[in-house]
Structure 1
Amino acid sequence: MNEIIEYFDHTQYKQARPSYPPKVFEIIAKHLKCLPVKNIVDVGCGSGQASFGLLNYGEHVLGIDLSPVQIQGAREEILRRKIDPNRIDFQISGSNAIPVEDHSVDLLTVAQAIHWFDLEEFYKEAKRVLVPGGSAAIWCYDMARVMNNDTVERAFSNLHSGILKNYWTKHRELVDNGYKDLNPPFKHVERFQAILEHSTDIEGLLVYIGTWSSVHEYKKAHPDQDCCADLKKVLDACAPDTVFQLQSTIHMLLVRD
């Protein structure tokens, strides 16, 4: 699990990774029996991309992550947003040791993270902490597509599916399959999709790429080479104020016993 901490730089992650659209939370809300629920735990929360959006659906949100830097960044975000600290907290913890009592959580969420977990251990822990009838919402988003510039999209696609093809970790396979191979051991499993859209400039696109695990693996293998060299040549031909429209598909599972 230490590889997760190594890959994800808090500053880059917060700057480049998109927040989740209202549709994600609307799907979750329709799945829940009543709102607001009492306790929500966001597992593998990173810097809180999903955690803060969950405040509208629960009395208290706890985000947990293995990265001390990510957790510190999320705590700073509480202050920046001037949110009541009694409503949300962030703690350093793993998916196999959720720091709450048995059967005390109404909703577990895992956003773009479960593919890093020991699934057997996480499912066991989820069943321990969820209240009877409690739910888990699990989702990922697939590789973004550049919607408004075909030339950049070709170079971008060649980077993630060509140059970096052999440098993605094994965890990526679950994401690429839209979590279709994920089969949580719960009685009720529903699947949904939503669209994730965000815009970014040239710098933001390169920072986003810098958060990919495959880029870190490539740098280890080729410390003197720039995997983004071809893409940068294409970006150099773009106007400095170019804005790219990115789109991904969110794949969701909502589960309960």
Structure 2
Amino acid sequence: MQEVKHTEQAWDCATGNGQVALELANYFKEVNATDISQAQLDQAETRENIHYSISRAEQTNFPDSTFDLITVAQAIHWFDFGAFYREVRRVSKPGGILAVWGYGVMQFADHQINEQLQHFYCVVTNPYWDPERRYLDEAYQTIPFDLPEINIPETFAIEQSFTLASLQGYLNTWSAVKKMQQKTSPKDPVGEFISGLQEYWPVAAMQPATFPIHLRVGRVE
């Protein structure tokens, strides 16, 4: 937030169920939050200063020179980069900030668990990930970033603890796992993976993990 000059208007692009928009609403007079999925927006919590709407990232109805801050969380790797950056330049105020970020695959503190998870991610499920996933694997350093970049020296991560059951539930949400299950049914690749972890992981135990956050920040000139 220290790079943002004014806090009148923010746009949270590809807001999903509005988690980032809710945070922005604590700092900005008005937040516009857009997504292409009405089902996602239907799950979003409302606030008086948040305005949700259906819109593509690359083409909106916002007036020129509107926003002090534009954010994109876990989504820019799906965009048409050139068209999106043109829209950012159009709707951003001069000197406005674009902040984009995504999170990588979790890393467990226990090295045996982590080795098994990395193998499941990098080898077992690898053929089933969409090609755009590589941008997250490359820490967002290879996404085209068409703005003068602001160096952010801090590193960020999401911390979360899992039981075997909650990890199994989380892995079953992976898009690659869903594709894999369709092709390998009736096999249960996640169930097999979880069974293999029981050698290192007592069933009721909580194991800490971190999701590294990959952040790029630029200023519109």
What is the TM-score when the length of structure 2 is the normalising length? 0.89
Match of 1:201 in 2: 163
Residue ranges of structure 1 left out of the alignment (5+ in a row): 1-28, 79-84
Cα distance, 1:62–1:211 mapped onto 2, change above 3 Å: farther
Q: How many angstroms does 1:208 deviate by? A: 1.9
Could you tell me how far apart the structure 1 residues matched to 2:216 and 2:135 are? 13
- The 5 A counterparts of 1:1-257 are 29-34=1-6, 37-74=7-44, 77-78=45-46, 85-147=47-109, 149-192=110-153, 193-236=155-198, 238-256=201-219, 257=221
Residue 92 of structure 1 and its aligned partner are, at CA, apart by: 2.1
Deviations 1:184-227 (A, max 9, x none): 22234435531221223333222221232211221333233222
CA contact (8 A) 2:149 2:216 kept: no
Helix, strand or coil: the match of 1:45?
A: coil
1:103: how far off? 1.3
> Against the structure 1 CA distance between its residues 204 and 104, is the aligned structure 2 distance closer, same or farther, given a 3 Å change threshold?
same
Aligned amino acid, residue 250 of structure 1: I
How far off its partner does 1:165 sit? Answer: 1.2
Q: Distance in 2 between matches of 1:204 and 1:51?
A: 26
Query: Number of residues paired by the alignment?
Result: 218
Amino acid at match of 2:5: K
Question: Tell me, what secondary structure is at the counterpart of 2:20?
Answer: coil
Q: Name the larger-Rg structure.
A: 2
Amino acid aligned to 1:114: I
Do 1:45 and 1:65's aligned partners in 2 also have CA atoms closer than 8 Å? Answer: yes
Q: State, as a whole percentage, how many aligned pairs show the same letter.
A: 27
Partner SS state of residue 221, structure 1: helix
Aligned-partner Cα distance in 1 for 2:203–2:196:
12
Q: Is the 8 A contact 2:106 2:210 kept in 1?
A: yes
**CA shift in 2, pair 1:150/1:187, >3 Å:** closer
Is 102-111 or 201-210 further displaced after alignment? 201-210
Write the distance in 1 (CA, Å) between the matches of 2:206 and 2:60.
40
2:103–2:214 Cα contact (<8 Å) kept: yes
CA distance in 2, matches of 1:198, 1:56: 24
Task: Kindly provide the CA deviation profile for residues 115-149 of structure 1, in whole angstroms up to 9, marking residues without a partner as x.
Answer: 111111111111111111111001111111122x3
Which residue type is aligned with residue 206 of structure 1? Answer: Q
Q: Is the alpha carbon distance of 1:45 and 1:145 closer, same or farther for their aligned partners in structure 2, counting shifts above 3 Å?
A: same
Are 1:39 and 1:58, in contact at CA under 8 Å, matched by a contact in 2?
A: yes
Which TM-score applies when normalising by structure 1? Answer: 0.77
The structural deviation recorded for 1:235 is 4.6
Q: Within 2, Cα distance between the matches of 1:97 and 1:220? A: 34
Higher helix share: 1
Cα distance between partner residues in 2 of 1:133 and 1:154: 44
CA distance in structure 1 between the aligned counterparts of 2:65 and 2:119, rounded to whole angstroms: 47
